[in-house]
Amino acid sequence: MNRPYQLPIDRIDAVPRPVVAAGAAYEDGTLLHWHSHRRAQLLYGVSGLMQVVTEDGAWVVPPRPPAAPTSSRRRRRAPATVARCWR
């Protein structure tokens, strides 16, 4: 990867939809300036590792979406109260 790829934020914010999907790629060590968006963000990394820092805290974004194939057996553990947004 020669340089980071990112759609210009004005193109993303101009889309007249409540939810928009957008992609980006960053080289190792990339640090973005402090910024905000008109919409909330749901971040995940297809590969690599991200750290997100806000005024309220810091999180590590795992290197792949937290999804399980439909055919895989699974179980969940909730060490604290959890609200799910799907059924």
**pLDDT tens, per residue, the chain with 87 residues:** 445 556 677 788 888 888 888 878 888 888 988 988 878 887 877 788 889 999 989 988 877 666 667 777 777 777 777 665 554
Report the relative pairing of strands 24-25 and 50-54 from DSSP bridges: unpaired
Rounded to whole angstroms, the Cα distance separating 28 from 34 reads 18
Inter-residue contact 6 to 24 (CB < 8 Å)? yes
| Interior/surface letters 35-66, b for 16+ CB within 10 angstroms, e for the rest | eeeeeeeeeeeeeeeeeeeeeeeeeeeeeeee
Inter-residue contact 2 to 30 (CB < 8 Å)? no
Q: What's the pLDDT tens digit per position in 17-30? A: 888 888 788 888 88
pTM, two decimals, is: 0.58
